[in-house]
Amino acid sequence: MIARVALARWGMHAVLLLCALLVLFPVLWIGIAAFKTQIDLLTGKTWFTPTWANFNELLFSRSSDYLANFLNSLLVATVSTVAVALMATLAAYSLNRLRWPAWVPTLVLLWSVVFHMLPPITMVGPWYFMFRSLGLNATYTCLILTNIALNLPVGIWLMSVFVRDLPIELEEAARVDGCTTPQMLIRIVFPLVLPGLAAMSILVFVFSWNEFAVALNLTDRRTATVPVAIAKFAQEYEIKHGVMAAGALLSAIPAVIVLLFAQRHIVKGLTAGAVK
Q: Using one digit for the tens of pLDDT, what is the confidence trace for 53-73? A: 899 999 888 888 899 999 999
Across the chain, mean pLDDT equals 86
Per-residue pLDDT band for 269 (boundaries 50, 70, 90) equals: low
Arch. (CATH architecture) of 64-270:
Orthogonal Bundle (1.10)
- Dist. CA 76–CA 54, nearest whole Å: 26
Per-residue pLDDT band for 270 (boundaries 50, 70, 90) equals: low
- Dist. CA 41–CA 64, nearest whole Å: 21
In this prediction, residue 258 carries a pLDDT of: 80
Q: Using one digit for the tens of pLDDT, what is the confidence trace for 177-207? A: 888 888 888 888 888 888 888 888 888 999 9
Q: Using one digit for the tens of pLDDT, what is the confidence trace for 15-53? A: 888 988 888 888 888 888 899 888 888 887 878 888 898
Coil, helix or strand at residue 234? strand
Share of the chain above pLDDT 70, in %: 93
DSSP 31: H
In this prediction, residue 274 carries a pLDDT of: 46
Which candidate, 180, 208, 265, places its Cα nearest to that of 83?
208
Which candidate, 194, 217, 199, 214, places its Cα nearest to that of 149?
214
Domains of the chain, residue spans: 64-270
